[in-house]
Amino acid sequence: MKSLVLGGNDAVAYAVKQSYVDVVSAYPITPQTSIVEKIASFIAAGEINTRFIRVESEHSAMAAAMGASAAGSRVFTATSSQGLLLMHEVLHWAAGAGLPIVMANANRAVAPPWSIWAEQTDSLSQRDTGWIQLYASNSQEVYDLVFISFKLAEEVKNPVMICLDSFLLTHTKEPVAVFEGEIDGFIKEKKWKALLDVDNPEAFGALAFPKDYMPIKIQQFERMKKATAVFEKIANEFKNFSNRQHSVIEEYGDENAEVVLITMGSLAETSQLAIDKLKEEGIKAKLVKIKMFRPFPKDELKESLKNAKNVIVFDRNVSMGKGGIVKDELVGALGLSNCIGIVCGLGGYDVDEDDLVKATKDVLSGKIKEDTFLWGEK
Amino acid sequence: MKIPKDEILKPNHLACPGCGAALAMRLALKALGRKTVIVIPACCWTVINGPWGKNYAGVPVFHTAFETTAAVAAGIKASLEMQGKDDITVVGWAGDGGTFDIGLQALSGAAERNDDIIYVCYDNEAYMNTGIQRSSATPIGAETTTTPAPMLKNRPKKDLMELVAAHSVPYIASATVAYPVDLIKKFEKAKSKKGFKLIHILTPCPPGHKFPEDKTIEISKLAVETGIFPLYEIEDGRYKLNKKPKFTGIEEYLKLQGRFRNISEKEMEVIKENIKERWRRLEIKFEYFN
Ligand SMILES: Cc1ncc(C[n+]2csc(CCOP(=O)(O)OP(=O)(O)O)c2C)c(N)n1
Ligand code: SF4
């Protein structure tokens, strides 16, 4: 293990380099581009034995990834925002086919108007495509999650999307502990073999009549649901190599908190600072950061929120006409009556810990009584 | 030349009687053999190959989204190459809609990269799977459900061969089921070459073109003899004509098919004019680029 100063994108590229990836197929989009540029440079320098398919669109990037995976390769791709949306149809195909593709998505706002800055509406719009979704909060998590994702994808037979906030994470450099070979025991062996086999010629994805379609989809649902437990198991194995623990949800702050803040991605780091400030002011608060959004960790959240008097969800995303998507999911899953959703930081709009502290106090004092947006002149 | 005996396509496939697209696959597989993987997008072949749990093609089939054929095939090939499995032929098998229209971008991408795949367009000149709507491969004067008379298709068929030729790929050929030996030879040639190969096959469709199901061969033969569907190859940029047309029987070709029943005198003239003009350009290529 050594320490390098890496942005989130570098961390992804480094982890992919160390993950025995056979095929990468990708198309450039800001702010994802430097991931695949870096991978290309590793290939060009002969540092890894990986094939790079330089496709003509994200739609084809996912299609080629799907073909390569079906033929038995370990496959990686990366995208963001408009690119992810262009892939939408093929995301369903890849998940429906149960292919263990791993993709990094730089969470970037969706046009119009054009924006290249952070927002999670792109990936959250894909929540029903059947992909496992993980959200990272810092470059170390991004790096670690790549290894965990390949294992998870191959074991569950389901694609995994690792989400990292545009610029806040993709381009912000921080020290990252990287492996020097010791991770081989974790990642080298592939638990995946080709679907397409000339000695056993089967067809995949054929037309299914209603009597077949429904059970197939239930099977897919059950397979995906298992991912929560499998993630925990693999994360424990990962701890042996790294001494770093990952979990589907993670807490920070006072266990018996009267107010619980919930968020995903880089906002979780900001929230930790807010928790510390609230503590200084005598307010018992904790953060619950959702690392795995799909499958939704309902049981874990229920347990974590059982004593909470107030729950505030900070969503850097929005479902038009409804509100924050994570808030909606949480209330849908747990039926909370004491939950306020606050949509903030859309299109990279700056949110700092003081904003979160103020919003939290406004909820506790009754000044904020219902779901709202957090913004104002900066 | 002997036609290989091995029948890889299973006889219980689900094509309509007289389907040119089914026959095309049967012949193609004879040339390609069992070490072949096929990618099939949304099209009649999605149905022909059998429902969930069936696989009448007899070789591995990956069903995929309408517009992804070439990209998926490229991914499969890259993966096989990474595993050192160099003896497996990867084939994208798409209809005219999935090739000329929605799949054109992925096709162009794979051709430009010179991915080592065979891309086959079986061309029944309309979207048949969704019930006979016009595609950009539908010829002038044809009636479809989206070009009902008197609003017949009024633009010439897109020229796929020349479009792909503009990508400088190693091998491009047209074929039709009326000339099985020619078709098989072309698949064998395509299989033996590295890089991107396109085979464009005219496959008459009895319900779509509205003709009796025993006329498939006659119609595909007429398409070649009239000059409507030229049989030729472009090998490393060199043009080669495989069958010289007689340029007769155009009226008969059109009359045999209900889809042309509403064409006017004027449209007939346009059709004849288009055939002449296409051949004028082609012959220059046969002469100067051979
Ligand atoms: C994105 C998308 N748009 C539309 C369709 C509907 N669709 C399925 S098959 C088809 C027509 C296929 O036509 P063609 O490629 O010519 O093949 P054919 O059915 O004639 O064999 C269409 C429009 C689809 N499956 N996917
Ligand atoms: S509609 Fe035409 S192309 Fe489709 S299966 Fe029937 S005959 Fe073949």
The predicted-structure confidence for A83-93, as pLDDT tens digits, reads as follows 999 999 999 99
- A260 forms beta bridges with A286, A311
Contact B63, A92 (CB under 8 A): no
C-alpha separations of A56 from A26, A71, A78, A257 in Å: 9, 21, 14, 51
Instruction: Return the residue matching tokens 């002997």.
Output: B2
Q: Rounded to whole angstroms, how far apart are CA atoms B19 and B77?
A: 29
Dihedrals φ, ψ of B62, to 5°?
A: -115, 110
Residue type for B86, please?
D
Q: Rounded to whole angstroms, how far apart are CA atoms A358 and A274?
A: 9
Query: Which ligand 1 atom is the nearest neighbour of the CA of B96?
Result: 16
Q: Extract the tokens encoding B256.
A: 């045999």
Q: What is the predicted pLDDT for the residue at A377?
A: 73
**How is residue A155 annotated by DSSP?**
H
Q: Rounded to whole angstroms, how far apart are CA atoms A250 and A232?
A: 12
What lies within 8 Å, CB to CB, of A376 at 6+ separation is none
pLDDT tens digits, residue range A50-96? Answer: 999 999 999 999 999 999 999 999 999 999 999 999 999 999 999 99
Residue type for B172, please?
I
Contact A111, A82 (CB under 8 A): yes
The mean pLDDT value of chain B amounts to 97
**How is residue A165 annotated by DSSP?**
E
Residue type for A234, please?
I
pLDDT grade for B1, boundaries at 50, 70 and 90: confident
Q: Rounded to whole angstroms, how far apart are CA atoms A77 and A54?
A: 11
Count of Cβ atoms closer than 10 Å to residue A282 Cβ: 6
CB contact under 8 A, A57 and B75: no
Asked if the model's pLDDT at residue B218 lies above 90, the reply is yes
Contact B25, B44 (CB under 8 A): no
Instruction: Return the residue matching tokens 């098989």.
Output: B184
CB contact under 8 A, A67 and B36: no
Atom 5, ligand 2: which residue's CA is nearest? Answer: B15
Asked if the model's pLDDT at residue B2 lies above 90, the reply is no
pLDDT tens digits, residue range B109-135? Answer: 999 999 999 999 999 999 999 999 999
Contact B96, B135 (CB under 8 A): yes
Closest by Cα among A80, A161, A169 to A127: A161
Report CA A241 to chain centroid distance, whole Å: 22
CB contact under 8 A, A60 and B65: no
CB contact under 8 A, A206 and B46: yes
Average pLDDT over residues B157-165: 97
**Ligand 2 neighbourhood includes B205 CB (under 6 angstroms):** yes
Contacts of A23 in chain B (CB under 8 A): 75, 78-79, 82
Nearest to A67 among B62, B82, B88 (CB): B62
Count of Cβ atoms closer than 10 Å to residue B75 Cβ: 36
pTM above 0.95, yes or no: yes
Contact A218, A208 (CB under 8 A): no
Give the number of residues written for chain A: 378
Element (H, E) at A15: helix A8-17
Contact A21, A43 (CB under 8 A): no
To probe the interface with B, which of A62, A66, A86 has the most B CB atoms within 10 Å? A66
List strand residue ranges (DSSP E) for chain B, in order: 36-40, 61-63, 89-95, 118-123, 171-176, 197-202, 232-235, 238-241
In which residue ranges of chain A is pLDDT below 50? none
Q: Rounded to whole angstroms, how far apart are CA atoms A99 and A66?
A: 7
Q: What is the predicted pLDDT for the residue at A212?
A: 97
Report CA A237 to chain centroid distance, whole Å: 20
Atom 26, ligand 1: which residue's CA is nearest? Answer: B66
Contact A217, B83 (CB under 8 A): no
Q: Rounded to whole angstroms, how far apart are CA atoms A158 and A173?
A: 31
Q: Rounded to whole angstroms, how far apart are CA atoms A84 and A62?
A: 9
Atom 6, ligand 2: which residue's CA is nearest? Answer: B16
Q: Rounded to whole angstroms, how far apart are CA atoms B141 and B143?
A: 7
Q: DSSP letter string over B47-104?
A: HHT-STT--TTSS-EEE--TT-HHHHHHHHHHHHHHTT-TT-EEEEEEEHIIIIITTH
pLDDT tens digits, residue range B8-36? Answer: 999 999 999 999 999 999 999 999 999 99
Contact B60, B37 (CB under 8 A): yes
Burial class of residue B210 (count of CB atoms within 10 Å of its CB; 0-12, 13-18, 19+): middle
Count of Cβ atoms closer than 10 Å to residue B115 Cβ: 25
Q: Rounded to whole angstroms, how far apart are CA atoms A43 and A50?
A: 6
Q: Extract the tokens encoding B131.
A: 């019930």
Q: What is the predicted pLDDT for the residue at A237?
A: 97
What's the gap in Å between the CA of A216 and the closest CA on chain B? Answer: 10
- A163 forms beta bridges with A105, A135
